[in-house]
Every structure is written in C-alpha cells, then in structure tokens.
Amino acid sequence: MPTLSRRFSTTVSNPELFLQWQPQRAAQVLSPLSPTQIQKQRKVLESKLISALDCCTSVRQIKQVHAHLLLQGLDQCCLVLAKLIRTLTKVNAPMETYTRLIFEQVRNPNPFLWTAMIRGYILQGSISESVNLYSCMRSVGTRPLSFTFSVFFKACGAAKDVSLGRQIHAQAILVGGFASDLYVGNTMIDMYVKCGYLECGRKVFDEMPDRDVISWTELIVAYAKNGDMESAWDLFVELPVKDKVAWTAIVTGYAQNARPREALEVFERMQNEQVETDVVTLVGVISACAQLGASKYANWVRDVAESSGFGPCDDVVVGSALVDMYSKCGSVDEAFKVFEGIKEKNVFSYSSMIFGFAMHGRGHAAIQLFHDMLKSEMRPNHVTFIGVLTACSHVGLVEQGRQLFAAMGNHYGVAPSVEHYTCMVDLLGRAGHLEEALELIETMSAEPNACVWGALLGACRTHRNPDIAQLAADHLFELDPNNLGNYILLCNIYTSAGMWDKVSRIRKLMRVKGLKKNAGYSWIEAKKGEIHEFFAGDMRHPMSTEIKQALEDLLNRLKANGYVPNLNSVAYDIHDDEKKHMLMNHSEKLALAYGLLSTDVDCPIKIMKNLRICEDCHEVMCGASKITGREIIIRDNMRFHHFHSGSCSCGNFW
C-alpha cells in the first residue's frame, strides 16, 4: 500500500484521537452539492474505501484508510465500518483497543456492524464477550442476521460447546424465521455433528423446509465418519441432485470404513454418470484399491486418473497415493515405476516409496532411496523415519537403525513417537538384543502401548525367551486384554520351552475370558479380475470339491518332504485330529489351492489376508513355493511375505 501511505500519512496522524475529539470535522470538507450528487458521491467513496480495505495487510494501512473515511464524513457509515472491523480482525488487531473504540463511536450500529464485532471476538477466542455483545444487540432492539447465528454455530462446533450451541439454536427459533434459514440450518447441522450429537443434526436436517447439496453432504460425511455407511448410503440415494462433492463423500466414506468393494462400485457408477473426478475422489478410490489389493482395479483407477489429468506426472498427491496402492497390491516394482514418473517429488512421495520397499522386505532399496532423498535436500518427516526404520529391521541393519533413530531429533527435528519406538524394539528384537529392547521401552519418552510390547513379545517367540515374554505379556494383558493373538504367542513360547504348566494356565485363562479369534478370511484375484473370498472352514465356493482335493494333494506332497502340522498354531484345547482339521481349512490355504487351480503357472499367486498369517500356514507356503515352483505373495495385517523356492522374504520373523 505505498500509494495510500504517501497520500494519507499527513492527513490524520492519530485516527483514534480524531475519532474521539472531532467526530463532525469531516463534514466541513465536503463541497456544497445537491442531495442526489452527495448520495452518489458517498456511494462512490464507500466503494473505493471498501476496495482499499481489501488490499490492507497491516493495522497501519487500515488506519490510513480509516483517516480518509473520517475526513470524508463517513464516521457513522456502518457498511464501511463493518468492513473496517472485519479487516482489523483479519490482521489480528486486538478487539479491546482500537477496534472497540471504532464501534463505540457509532451512534446506531446496524446488524452488520454488530455481527462484525461478534465475529471478531469469536475469531480471537473470546466467545463469552461475543455472547455479551449479542445480548447488548438484542437489548437495544437490533434484529440479528442469519450470519450472526451461523458465526456462533461455527464457533460452538469448533469449541465442541453443545450447551452454548443449543442456547443459540433456541435464539434462532425465538427471534423468528432463522431456524428455517438454509444457511443457518447447515451451520447448525455442522455444529451438532462436530459436538458429537449426530442425532440432533439429523433432526435439524429433517425439519428444514429447504435443503441444498451441502445439507445432504454434511450428514453423509458425518454418518460415514461414524461408521454408519447404511444411513450414509440411504441419504445419498435420496439426494435429488448428486454433485461431485456428494459422490466423493460416499466413495471416501466406504474407503475409510474398510469397505473397498462398495467404494469401487460407487466410483464406477460415478464414472458411468460422467461426474467430474478430482484429486479428493481419486485419493479415496485409490485407498480402496490399496485395501482390496487387486491389480485389475489398480490399473483401471490409474487409467482414470491419467485421463482426468491427475496422473503421477501431473499431480504429486495422486502419484504418492498410486505408489502406496501398487505397493499394497503386491506390485512394488510397478510402484517404483510410478514413483520415478512423478515430476515434482515431495516428502510424501518419497515416504510412500520407502515404506513400500520396507513392507516388501526390500530394506536396502528403501535405505538407498532415503539417502537419495537427503541428497535432493528434502527434509524427512516422521512417516519417512517409520519407513526407513522398518526397512532396517527387515534386513537386520541394527547399527544403522540406531544411528537413524538418534539422528531423528538431533539433526532433523523429528521427535520420536510411539511408532518409532515400536520400530526400534522390532529392530533390536529381530537381532536378538532383547535386553536392549526392554531397556529402550523402559526409558521411552512416551507411554509404551500395546504395539511396543507386542513387538517385544514377537521377538521373544523367535528367540525363545520366556522370562521377557512373560513381562511383555503382562503389559499386553493389561493394555489389550481381549487380543487372543497375544495369548497364543505366549502359549507358543511356553510350548517351545517345554513349560507345560504355564501353557495350561494360559489356555485356561483364554477359556475363562471366552476369547475367540476374529474370523479369518483371505481373498485372491482370479484371471479376469474377479475377487474370490475364502473364510476359515468355509467350503461354499463353487469349486470347493476341487479346492479341497488340490489342498489334500499339496499337503500330502509336503508331508512326504518332512512337513509336520504345527499344532501350536491352534489356540484351543481340543484333540490333535481336530487341530489338524482346523489348520487344513485356514483361509489362506484354501486361497492357495484355488490359486494353483486357476492362475497361470508363470504368474505369482497373490493372496490378501485380514489377520496375521499363522506359523503353520507360513511353513506350508514356504514348502509349496518349493515343490510347485510358484512364487506366492501374501499380504497379512503386518506386512508382505514373498515365498520363493522354499524361503520367505521375512526371514521367518513377522
């Protein structure tokens, strides 16, 4: 504002004093004109002053405009003064000094001026003072605006103050007409949703005489965040005119609630309706593809992204999401091709690729990429370090992991979180440094959670240390008492150590607690991209007879090569024959048999599983990869396992 500074700096040096001492001074500078000309000139001046305020970025510049306003006799012009106060709020000028003085000099402030003051106090965190102003406004008989109420509702939502929100809601009804105002209604819905009162938000919605797409979309998003996709879908179906935002809300909702198939089906309908696709929609549907892990859908979504102008070369956000998607679909090489095609890489694209390499057991590639990132003078963040520490863990680079962990805070300003400590405990545990891992937990700057103790317990299973295992399990039983997997792990550790009395005690504890394992299921992509699901013990698949026979033949061949079922993988106290039957019907074994029957021999068999793969299934996959000559890739809820020629990329530690 250099022009304003030169023009007005010598006119009124102190507008606050001018305002207090000479409120009528400006009238003297006006030339004698007709009323019509005066009114026209006034409108032009108001317009120019409002435009000048739009350009102000400091209190000093605003004061210069204010001085000109005073000289032109506009000290009572509520329109310009409301804009002046909003501009002061925008530059964080204190409400109690200069701003309040301006307001108090106005003899008859209109609703816009009152609302500007109320909004200013709210934005500066003084909600109580804004309520006082509202009371004063009502006491002098000034009727509020719809914007007055919407400002309050936004503040109540941000502060999660449903009590005040309800009082303002009552005022909107009492004043008359505002409870049915579309804009007020939408902000009221948003307030109740943010305060955690979704039912109240729905009641407001149901009682609104008029609704727009914002009204519908707010509730669709709220139901989705609450995990109630049925209600979200019902609203979406009823929505008269569905725009891009509504479609994106429902697609993203399904993806965020781990319902990838529905997300992809809705997105396909969105494409058929020729609704425009944007980055937010694509990121949501890419997330769904990553959950499903199906290559057919992954390639289709990538084609849609590129045809919409959001390919990896064009948009780094979509590119980073595609890297993550291909990694989680088991195609880490394709993920790296996408990564290389991103023109302007950022910390998120690097972190996605580092983490992709890490979860596939390609630790050296992940670490090399991390160093490439540093060479490009890009600063790593907390996600980057989770990826690179995981990579160190999977290839046993203990010393390098220690150095990176120490460098996080010292050189990169990244404070270690619980996730980073979990990575370090896993790294040290894999390498057999159980005492050091335990010491690290005991000296953590954050409170250790179940993930940290779980990493230590897993290491105790590998290195057969029942003493530290019991210590870790005690914490796990307290933090996560209903997680059956922890009890099974401890049971297996005691079994390996021949501590049968403790095995009996843990199994009894499981029975007393009535713990049941979550239903295990696996899914595999067939030739034409169809997804086939298999549940443990479920033989309802159309090819169940062939699958059962193929699995029996495979297990017989494995037994001839020395395979013995690992009965410790069954947590229940039942007869050994029943345990063998249960193991045979694990979902990933059924999926494997189907893959052997239905996929080309030169293609890897890719299986996705919702739970951690058990020791017996892991042993079967290793053996199957050797005797069939097929590469088998399994994604469980921990990582990827690449089985090839009788061994696994995880080194039998997961």
When pLDDT is averaged across residues 208-225 and rounded to a whole number, the result is 94
When pLDDT is averaged across residues 430-434 and rounded to a whole number, the result is 93
* Same domain membership, residue 531 and residue 495: no
Residue 567 forms part of a structural domain? yes
* Same domain membership, residue 507 and residue 558: no
The CB density around residue 604, as the number of other CB atoms within 10 Å, is: 18
* Same domain membership, residue 424 and residue 506: yes
* Same domain membership, residue 506 and residue 581: no
* Same domain membership, residue 541 and residue 429: no
Q: Is the pLDDT of residue 33 over 80?
A: no
Pairing of the two strands 632-635 and 640-644? antiparallel
Total domains, the chain: 3
pLDDT in tens, 500-558: 888 888 888 888 888 776 778 999 988 777 899 999 888 889 999 999 999 999 999 99
Residue 107 forms part of a structural domain? yes
The residue with greater pLDDT, 573 or 217, is 217
Q: Which of residues 90, 105, 139 is at a domain's end? A: 139
Lowest mean pLDDT among 43-47, 280-284, 412-416, 574-578: 574-578
Task: Provide the pLDDT for residue 27.
Answer: 45
* Same domain membership, residue 554 and residue 508: no
Q: Which of residues 481, 499, 516 is at a domain's end? A: 516
What single letter denotes the amino acid at residue 295? Answer: S
Q: Which residues constitute the domain of residue 565? A: 523-648
Task: Provide the pLDDT for residue 1.
Answer: 34
Pairing of the two strands 531-535 and 521-525? antiparallel
3-state secondary structure of 465: coil
Using alpha carbons, select from 232, 280, 284, 278 the residue that is nearest to residue 258.
284
Residue 345 forms part of a structural domain? no
Residue 653 forms part of a structural domain? no
* Same domain membership, residue 490 and residue 601: no
Q: Is the pLDDT of residue 17 over 50?
A: no
User: What does the alpha-carbon distance between residue 384 and residue 423 come to, in Å, rounded to a whole number?
Assistant: 12
Task: Provide the pLDDT for residue 549.
Answer: 95
User: What does the alpha-carbon distance between residue 334 and residue 322 come to, in Å, rounded to a whole number?
Assistant: 10
Question: What CATH number did the domain enclosing 425 receive?
Answer: 1.25.40.10
* Same domain membership, residue 637 and residue 568: yes
Residue 58 forms part of a structural domain? yes
What single letter denotes the amino acid at residue 606? Answer: K
Written as one string, the DSSP assignment of 156-217 is: HHHHT-HHHHHHHHHHHHHHSSSTT-HHHHHHHHHHHHHTT-HHHHHHHHHH-SS--HHHHH
pLDDT in tens, 404-421: 999 998 999 999 999 999
For residue 640, give the DSSP letter: E
* Same domain membership, residue 453 and residue 498: yes
Which residues on neighbouring strands pair with residue 534, listed in sequence order?
A: 522
Q: pLDDT tier at 573 (50, 70, 90 boundaries)? A: low
Q: Which of residues 139, 162, 181 is at a domain's end? A: 139
Contact assessment for residue 153 and residue 184, using Cβ atoms and an 8 Å cutoff:
yes
User: What does the alpha-carbon distance between residue 608 and residue 588 come to, in Å, rounded to a whole number?
Assistant: 8
Task: Provide the pLDDT for residue 69.
Answer: 86
The residue with greater pLDDT, 602 or 20, is 602
Written as one string, the DSSP assignment of 248-260 is: HHHHHHHHHTT-H
The CB density around residue 433, as the number of other CB atoms within 10 Å, is: 18
Contact assessment for residue 249 and residue 220, using Cβ atoms and an 8 Å cutoff:
yes
* Same domain membership, residue 491 and residue 435: yes
User: What does the alpha-carbon distance between residue 196 and residue 106 come to, in Å, rounded to a whole number?
Assistant: 40
Helix or strand run (H / E) with residue 607: strand 605-609
* Same domain membership, residue 626 and residue 540: yes
Pairing of the two strands 640-644 and 605-609? unpaired
The residue behind tokens 């935002």 is 245
Contact assessment for residue 315 and residue 307, using Cβ atoms and an 8 Å cutoff:
no
* Same domain membership, residue 467 and residue 505: yes
| Mean pLDDT taken over the chain | 89
Helix or strand run (H / E) with residue 348: helix 347-359
When pLDDT is averaged across residues 151-160 and rounded to a whole number, the result is 95
Residue 271 forms part of a structural domain? no
pTM of the model as a whole:
0.81
Residue 238 forms part of a structural domain? no
Contact assessment for residue 456 and residue 393, using Cβ atoms and an 8 Å cutoff:
no
Q: Is the pLDDT of residue 572 over 60?
A: yes
Residue 468 forms part of a structural domain? yes
Q: Work out whether the CA dihedral 465, 470, 473, 475 comes out positive or negative.
A: negative
Lowest mean pLDDT among 87-91, 222-226, 364-368, 511-515: 511-515
User: What does the alpha-carbon distance between residue 430 and residue 81 come to, in Å, rounded to a whole number?
Assistant: 68
3-state secondary structure of 317: helix
Using alpha carbons, select from 367, 355, 363 the residue that is nearest to residue 324.
355
